[in-house]
Amino acid sequence: MEEDFYATIKINTGEEIFSKVSVCEEHADTFLLLSNPITVQEIKIKGNSIGYKVEPWLKTSSDDMFLLPMSRVVTISENDNIEIISVYNQFLRNEDIESNPYSVRSSLNKEMGYISSVLEAKEILEKLYKL
């Protein structure tokens, strides 16, 4: 088995996948072992800014490793784009935090800023702007 690498993969269904990939050979067949595959969609934000919408490739699966036969691959391109790799790794970190019920999340408190109800905030704003 060769070393892992990041790649963009176009499969015969038309989907484009980004993943950390390992190449596996079993008997006479070659497979790609995909680790946490995602789909990335480029979106334009106000002005000339560009962002990325990142989603898991298979949204209803809890697995993080998938075997993809090379017979399904139209093309594969090793990807060393630091920006896309950073987006991918940030997505994985966020997924780990959301899936871990024991992850430490800070709760809101008064030191973080003013906490009020909608009615209290409305009254303060009405007094401030004399409405």
Q: What average pLDDT values come out for the chain (131 residues) when binned by 10 residues?
A: 84 93 88 91 83 87 89 92 88 72 57 72 83 61
* Residue 106 identity (one-letter amino acid): S
CATH number of 5-101: 2.30.30.100
- Is pTM beyond 0.75 here? no
Domain ranges of the chain: 5-101
Instruction: Determine the pLDDT at residue 27.
Output: 82
Instruction: Determine the pLDDT at residue 37.
Output: 94
Instruction: Determine the pLDDT at residue 1.
Output: 46
Q: DSSP letters of the chain?
A: ----EEEEEEETTS-EEEEEEEEEEETTEEEEEEEEEEEEEEEE-STT-EEEEEEESSTT----EEEEEGGGEEEEEE---HHHHHHHHHHHHHHHHHH-TT---PPP-GGGS----HHHHHHHHHHHHT-
